[in-house]
Structure 1
Amino acid sequence: MIGTTGTAYGAPRTGIVERVGEPRPVDADIVIPVYNEQEQLAESVLTLMNHLASSQIEGWAYTWQIVIADNASTDDTWAIASRLASQYPGRVRAVRIARKGRGRALKLAWGESRAKVVAYMDVDLSTDIHQTGTLVGTLVYGFADVAFGCRLFDDSEVIRSAKREFISRTYNGMLRMLLGASFHDAQCGFKAMTASAARHLLPYIQDDEWFFDTEMLLLAQATGMRMYEFPVRWIEDPGSTVNIPDTVRKDLKGMWRMNGTLNRMRVAATA
């Protein structure tokens, strides 16, 4: 059953073991999933919060809440997250999740949201936060169901290593060639969905880790959702802890699984 816009939906609450602050019926929940990010969490959250407080300069007006989703950190990340949520009630809330996995963190944080739009961005703020208005406003004002940044358009401004550029272009090329993806960048950590789109998609997304983004976009495309992909300004975080070989292996496994899923959806649609 599809609920009403602005109500909690989706993931079971049991995956979240601790909360500071409660979901609010705002225009947008902006989730920052984190794992062992004690060094940069506070600075990033305060930078984003100060920017959002003056978001009208982007040409969009919307109410918001930042949600820090700590997925089983073993350092002081949760202490910092809970302190920020206590210091800035209504603007920042924090949830602590029992197990690792960015996809899991997003499912759980988005799943209890009361916002009209659910979004996320990486804690390193690699994507220019001045583009948050485009990400969120496009959905708040009804122009699309899913919005996401792209680092691979000709007019995207990207600073990153040649190795990561090659891996990204190869992976996204495979998605287009093998799975018929119409989008260009599945992996940019700058995405948003309407509450309605999230209610439709979250129950069917199986991956709990890095393939979550790809699966979300493929399912959105397959179900005919309106998707808006826009060029971003993006700077690689040299301190990223992503395990590239492990991520590539899991992405290939996810692509194999999604090929079967999409084929079954096509068969069902013609039955």
Structure 2
Amino acid sequence: MLCYMALVLFAPVPREPRRSEKQYITVLPNGERSEPRELPCWIDKWTAEKEVSKKRTGGKRRETLAKIALEEPELFMSVVVPAYNEEERLTGMLEEAVDYLQQEFAGRGWEIILVSDGSTDKTVDKALQFAREHQLSKHRKSVSGPWKDHLKHEERIPEGSIRIVELEANRGKGGAVTHGMRHVRGKYVVFADADGASRFSDLGKLVEGCERVEDDRGRGVAIGSRAHLVGSEAVVKRSKLRNFLMHSFHLLLRLMTPPATAAIADTQCGFKLFSRPALPYIIPYMHSEGWIFDVEMLMLAESGKIPMVEVAIGWKEVLGSKLNVVWDSLGMAWGLAVLRAAWLTGVYKRD
């Protein structure tokens, strides 16, 4: 009983979005910054429909979830980018993302939802400047990203393709990702780190992997993985302490998570793709807002019997990481223990 009460007190509870956080800004055709606009929110409509459906089915959850209609996608690919004080690294990542999205999905539609997580630098200004340049200028100067040099875009991006959401206060990476995913319009949704460490052109591999494993309801998750790089020079050159903490965390994951999640070699890579029908089984039930949020997403996918596949991607170290190796590793271990205990004891539960 005491343990349960302690969990109730200490288990994270995500705060409700504030009014301004349900809005976005973008760049107008004349290059000006738009006034705040309302974000579409599939989850609000889905939740309302769920309550009606629960009454019809007598509260049978599985039957309820299976019968709730989800809004149809308006475009093919949504990209959620969490960003906290990323003015130095953001532009390179966006260059490579837009280059790939325009090449592969221009005809089917795409969007980038950049969630500024209480940034105090010029992250938002940089994103607006990037959107302005790419909407107004057809032939821009050659630029470079983390993975590619001499990128030169030959066409303008559609108006409003880049939407910027400003969180009033920092919530953590997990909170920013979850918030962005509440407002996506795509058939597929990927979240990608703002530093560009994951090779964005490997998004096609994630789509192929997800399509391959999707169930008869179209649900699937593709997990970008760096596990194949464990013996690479980039990992070997890391400090002994960092590698020790990494292996210790992986051991904890295997011991403390359910089988399908425990079998995933790399749960923490910031490059994961979800099919739209998978979202209602995951996003409404998220609690973790820190670094451990990836694990909760995968555990929720597993409990919802959503097929998952791990896909090898390109990845490189990018200078400027905000991860404190020791303290954040300890925080992740504590977060994992609280997360698992909260779900096992019913402190967290699907309604």
TM bucket by the smaller chain? 0.7 to 0.9
* SS at structure 1 position matched to 2:165: strand
- Within 5 A, what are the aligned runs for 1:208-223? 208-223=289-304
Give the TM-score normalised by structure 1: 0.82
Q: In the alignment, which residue of structure 1 is the partner of 2:318?
A: 237
Cα distance in 1 for partners of 2:233, 2:220 equals: 26
- Within 5 A, what are the aligned runs for 1:245-260? 245-260=326-341
Query: Which of 112, 127, 147 is equivalent to 2:222?
Result: 147
How far is the alpha carbon of 1:197 from its aligned partner?
1.7
Q: In the alignment, which residue of structure 2 is the partner of 1:70?
A: 116
Assess if the C-alpha contact under 8 Å between 2:80 and 2:190 holds in 1. Answer: yes
Q: 1:55 to 1:229 in 2, by over 3 A?
A: same
- Within 5 A, what are the aligned runs for 1:90-169? 90-100=160-170, 101-139=172-210, 143=214, 145-153=220-228, 159-160=234-235, 161-163=237-239, 164-169=242-247
Q: 1:158 to 1:120 in 2, by over 3 A?
A: farther
1:170 aligns with 2:248: yes
Q: In the alignment, which residue of structure 1 is the partner of 2:94?
A: 45
Cα distance in 2 for partners of 1:155, 1:175 equals: 17
Structure 2 gap ranges (5+): 1-15, 27-38, 41-72, 136-158
Cα distance in 1 for partners of 2:232, 2:18 equals: 39
Match of 1:197, as an amino acid? A
Cα distance in 2 for partners of 1:42, 1:146 equals: 27
Cα distance in 2 for partners of 1:209, 1:15 equals: 22
How far is the alpha carbon of 1:68 from its aligned partner?
1.2
Structure 1 gap ranges (5+): 1-10
Of the structure 1 ranges 156-165 and 142-151, higher mean CA displacement relative to structure 2 is found in 156-165
How far is the alpha carbon of 1:156 from its aligned partner?
8.7
Q: 1:192 to 1:165 in 2, by over 3 A?
A: farther
Q: 1:35 to 1:149 in 2, by over 3 A?
A: same
Assess if the C-alpha contact under 8 Å between 2:213 and 2:307 holds in 1. Answer: no
| 1:171-195 per-position Cα deviation (integer Å, ceiling 9, x unaligned) | 1222112324121111101112122
Q: 1:199 to 1:37 in 2, by over 3 A?
A: same
Cα distance in 1 for partners of 2:232, 2:76 equals: 28
Q: 1:25 to 1:142 in 2, by over 3 A?
A: farther
Q: In the alignment, which residue of structure 2 is the partner of 1:183?
A: 264
Higher strand share: 1
Match of 1:52, as an amino acid? L
Identity %: 27
Give the TM-score normalised by structure 2: 0.64
Q: 1:18 to 1:90 in 2, by over 3 A?
A: closer
Q: 1:235 to 1:154 in 2, by over 3 A?
A: closer
Q: Which has the larger radius of gyration?
A: 2
Cα distance in 1 for partners of 2:117, 2:179 equals: 10
* SS at structure 1 position matched to 2:319: coil
1:204 aligns with 2:289: no
| 1:62-97 per-position Cα deviation (integer Å, ceiling 9, x unaligned) | 532122111111011111123334554242221111
Cα distance in 1 for partners of 2:276, 2:252 equals: 30
Cα distance in 2 for partners of 1:15, 1:145 equals: 32
| 1:200-229 per-position Cα deviation (integer Å, ceiling 9, x unaligned) | 211211111211111111221232110011
Cα distance in 2 for partners of 1:156, 1:202 equals: 34
* SS at structure 2 position matched to 1:233: coil
How far is the alpha carbon of 1:157 from its aligned partner?
6.2
Q: In the alignment, which residue of structure 1 is the partner of 2:309?
A: 228
Q: In the alignment, which residue of structure 1 is the partner of 2:21?
A: 16
Q: 1:142 to 1:256 in 2, by over 3 A?
A: closer
